[in-house]
Amino acid sequence: MADWDAESDEESPSKPLSALPEWEPVRWGSSSGQKVSSSVRSGKEERQSPSRENWRSRADGSRGRGREYRPGGGGGGGGVAWEFRKSRESGSVPLCFRLDNSVVGTVIGRGGSKIRELEDSSGSKIQIVKGEYESDVKIFGSDETQKRAKILIDDLVKRYGERPERDSKFCGRDSTSGYSNSAQVASSANGPRRPIINWASIRENKEKYEAMKWAGLPPVEKMFYRESKVVASRSREEVAQWRKENNNIICNDIKEGEKRAIPNPVVTFEEAFQYFPEIMDTIQKVGFLKPTPIQSQAWPIILQGLDLIGIAQTGTGKTLAYLLPGFIHLDSQPIPRAQRGGPGMLVLAPTRELALQVEAECSKYKYKGFKSICIYGGGDRKGQINLVTKGVDIIIATPGRLNDLQMNNIINLKSLTYLVLDEADRMLDMGFEPQIMKILIDVRPDRQTVMTSATWPDGVRRLAKSYLKDPMMVYVGTLDLAAVNTVEQKVVILPEEEKRAYTRHFVDSLKPQDKIIIFVGKKLIADDLSSDFSLQGVPVQSLHGNREQCDREQALDDFKKGKVRILVATDLAARGLDVQDVTHVFNFDFPRNIEEYVHRVGRTGRAGRTGESVTLVTRKDWKFAAELINILERANQEVPEELLLMAERYKQHKMKLDNEKDMAKPRGRWHRDF
Ligand code: AMP
């Protein structure tokens, strides 16, 4: 089950990264007892020490740490937590203690090394092993050397060791544990006094600045849900049964600490929007019969003002799941729209196509005359600026272009109170994280945030943890293609050089009313294949990132309207594309991962229709065979014998490689590196 626990081990964003002091490990001459200070940065030693030559620095970790090593916990008394441990490596007993990574982390962490060792000619050695939040420090050497080191460090900690306040959430230790602040330690070394960094004051100033930045903004109204009696009266069993039968919905409260009750789903539009007649009118106009599973479960959560993570693919109705509550949210803010000085809702989307599609959904409902605008790179920048400056309520944007307008002070994001990160996994795949970070600096922190993603990898978890507040999570129609039982999936195994002939044969066999997307791996192949078809008199359009935006829009329009019935596309079209009458997906090239396969296949069999997918597999795709078999089996599809053999061959090949790697590893207990 997904939870924050599975978070990646990246540096916590709450840590002050920019102002890290240079770390100054305390050193002592083994014979003279002379103390010197050294700093280590970026894997290089910068020394002023008279005994510099005596020290060897090793960052390769080849004689790294014993994994079982855990230095003692609470040191208490404001000092360092000391512990002597027998080292299996050398037989000597090292002196061990632990420092906060905010003190040493960047110093030893850069350059990829997690272990650093400093050794002198007498055999005395300091070893630092960087952990997730703390670094373990071991001092090896004679009793005399260790005693001296201990006295020095204790003394420094006593004199200067005002321990940095700890954020127990991230450090996982209580605040009585001993930590020394390196800037302070450094200041007492024999070298010149260094300025003491006052972390408490830095943090306080940051909070003050934040408070100033958001001062004067009107409060945000978020709660618009009144659970109907019918919804409230559903028993646990009924709800569980309903979730099971509706794409096996799984809900989760991600808030740390005490968990909240997950609201019961609504199964009719009235149950969600009975107090919002205009919304009901809009729904009736478009003629939808009932909410989709994601809508049923997301609406009661979002309408309560909670942040939500929706793990759902395009085609599940996720756009309306966040748009309708967004309309209500915008309409119900205490400050009238005209006086807000900027838009109230922002939807960030990974591609122009998806952004345009969300905008189309937005305009379709025309709720209370809200003005929406789509801002995307490649589009008419001037025109977009004109529209923004005239005043809009809803912005749907790709991160790059929005960041551009933000940096140029063309757009005010402070008025936003409702934020959507749509297809977050795709945005990360496309490298938009820096732009998202910059954009969100200017969006008030007490906003409501909804995030959708088709998958839940570490990067998305990290994003959610950084930008959503105590969210609830709803999984719908996961990557389990068993849920997409409307698509018949065929796999054809053939040599690379036969792919074109097979494709031509397949296209020739299509019926006049069929509509097909041919997915290829490269833009060049998309161009190549579509010009082949054109030369043969088969009308096609192509869609890929190298085409001008107007050509891309034209291609999509032609395909949607049926002017052409074949679209040759790269994975640009795998997600977000909502063309409901696609009858076939044809994978000319196997996608770069199995998730993309699922997205591609999901372009057909939509809105209650059935569809067919054909996937060409060649020898070079053998590494995907096992995952593909898994998907086919779960969707009750036929698995070709040859695919099974291919998976088996790849398994054997992998085992052989792993064995060879194992044999090549150095023996002994230190070979298990990070
Ligand atoms: P999405 O997953 O947001 O891309 O939505 C896919 C398609 O489903 C869009 O064309 C929506 O207009 C449509 N849709 C959204 N909600 C419903 C619903 N409750 N019933 C039928 N179709 C819907």
pLDDT at 84 over 70: no
pLDDT at 278 over 90: yes
**pLDDT on residue 599:** 79
Domain ranges of the chain: 3-38+45-202, 238-476, 487-658
Q: Mention the CATH class of domain 3-38+45-202.
A: alpha beta
pLDDT at 228 over 90: yes
Count the Cβ atoms, other than its own, within 10 Å of residue 226: 10
Cα of 129 to ligand 1 centre, how many Å?
52
pLDDT: which is higher, 220 or 83: 220
Q: How many Å apart are CA 155 and CA 68, to the nearest integer?
A: 29
Of 135, 167, 173, which Cα lies nearest the Cα of 25? 135
Quick check: helix, strand or coil at residue 452?
Answer: strand
Whether residue 399 has its Cβ less than 6 Å from ligand 1:
no
Q: What's the farthest any 2 CA atoms get from each other in the chain?
A: 92
Q: What is the mean pLDDT of residues 99-109?
A: 49
| Least-confidence region, from 13-22, 504-513, 639-648 | 13-22
43: buried, middle or exposed (CB in 10 Å: 19+, 13-18, 0-12)?
A: middle
Atom 10 (ligand 1): residue with closest C-alpha?
A: 578
pLDDT digits (tens, 9 = 90+) for 437-451: 999 999 999 999 999
The region of weakest confidence among 179-193, 500-514, 559-573 is: 179-193
Separation of alpha carbons 600 and 584, rounded Å: 10
Mean pLDDT, to the nearest integer, of 463-479? 87
User: Does residue 615 have its Cβ closer than 6 Å to ligand 1?
Assistant: no
> Measured between alpha carbons, how far is 609 from 625 in angstroms, rounded to an integer?
28
Shared fold status for 3-38+45-202 and 238-476:
no
Q: What is the pLDDT of residue 3?
A: 33
Q: What is the pLDDT of residue 175?
A: 33
The larger pLDDT score, comparing residue 366 to residue 24, is at: 366
Question: To test the ligand 1 pocket, which listed residue (273, 280, 284, 288) has its Cβ within 8 A of the most ligand atoms?
Answer: 288
What fold does the segment set 238-476 form as a domain?
A: Rossmann fold (3.40.50)
The radius of gyration computed from the CA coordinates of the chain, to the nearest angstrom, equals 30
- How confident is residue 100, by pLDDT bands cut at 50, 70 and 90? low
126-148 residue pLDDT tens: 777 776 666 777 787 777 777 77
**Cα of 417 from ligand 1 centre, angstroms:** 25
Is the pLDDT at 191 greater than 70, yes or no?
no
DSSP for 365-434 reads H-GGG--EEEE-TTS-HHHHHHHHHH--SEEEE-HHHHHHHHHTT----TT--EEEETTHHHHHHTT-HH
Q: Supply the pLDDT for residue 587.
A: 97
Tokens of 363: 């305009």
Share of the chain above pLDDT 70, in %: 71
The residues facing 394 across adjacent strands are 345, 372
**Range of 18-32, 350-364, 570-584 with top mean pLDDT:** 350-364
pLDDT attached to residue 496: 95
The pLDDT value given to residue 429:
87
- Residue 244 is predicted with a pLDDT of 81
Mutation pick for ligand 1 pocket among 320, 363, 599 (CB with most ligand atoms within 8 Å): 320
Pocket test for ligand 1, best of 578, 579, 581 (most atoms within 8 A of CB): 578
CA angle 142, 143, 147 (to 5 degrees): 120
pLDDT band of residue 492 (cuts 50, 70, 90) is very high
Report the C-alpha gap between 27 and 45 in whole angstroms: 13
Contact status, residue 640 vs residue 491, Cβ threshold 8 Å: yes
Give the helix/strand (H/E) hosting 40: strand 35-41
Residue 582's pLDDT band, with cuts at 50, 70 and 90, is very high
Which stretch of DSSP H or E encloses residue 271? Answer: helix 269-273
- Helix extents (H) in 579-636: 594-601, 625-634
CATH of domain 487-658: 3.40.50.300
* 292 touches ligand 1 (CB under 6 Å): yes
Tokens 């593909």, residue located: 628
Cα angle 671, 673, 674 (rounded to 5 degrees) comes to 170
Q: Is the predicted pLDDT of residue 491 greater than 60, yes or no? A: yes
**What mean pLDDT comes out for the span 236-260?**
88
Query: Quick check: pTM over 0.95?
Result: no
Q: Averaged over 255-267, what is the pLDDT? A: 93
State pLDDT tens for residues 545-579.
Answer: 888 878 888 998 999 999 999 999 998 766 656 78
Per-residue pLDDT band for 56 (boundaries 50, 70, 90) equals very low
Per-residue confidence (pLDDT) for residue 35, from 0 to 100: 33
Question: Does residue 291's CB lie within 6 angstroms of at least one atom of ligand 1?
Answer: yes
Confidence of residue 260 (pLDDT cuts 50, 70, 90): very high
Calculate how far, in angstroms, residue 221's C-alpha sits from the geometric centre of ligand 1.
27
Residue-level pLDDT at 246? 83
CA of 478 to the centre of ligand 1 (A): 17
Rounded distance from Cα 315 to ligand 1 centre (Å): 6
| Residue 371 token pair | 């003005």
With a cut of 80, say whether residue 463 has pLDDT above it: yes
Percent of the chain scored above 90 by pLDDT? 44
Q: What gap in Å lies between CA 290 and CA 264, rounded to an integer?
A: 16
What pLDDT sits at residue 666?
A: 59
Backbone region of residue 118 per phi and psi (left: phi > 0; alpha: psi in -120 to 50; beta: other values): beta
- Do residues 413 and 397 lie in contact, with contact meaning Cβ atoms separated by under 8 Å? no
With a 6 Å cutoff on the Cβ, whether 79 touches ligand 1 is no
pLDDT of residue 5: 28
Residue 20's pLDDT is 27
296 lines ligand 1 (CB under 6 A): no
**SS3 for 502-569, per residue?**
HHHHHHHCCCCCCCEEEECCCHHHHHHHHHHHHHCCCCCEEECCCCCHHHHHHHHHHHHHCCCCEEEE
- Alpha-carbon distance of 145 to 226, in angstroms, equals 70
**Average pLDDT over the chain, rounded to whole?**
76
| pLDDT for res 190 | 52
> What is the Cα–Cα distance from 464 to 474, expressed in whole angstroms?
13
CA-nearest residue for atom 9, ligand 1, is: 317
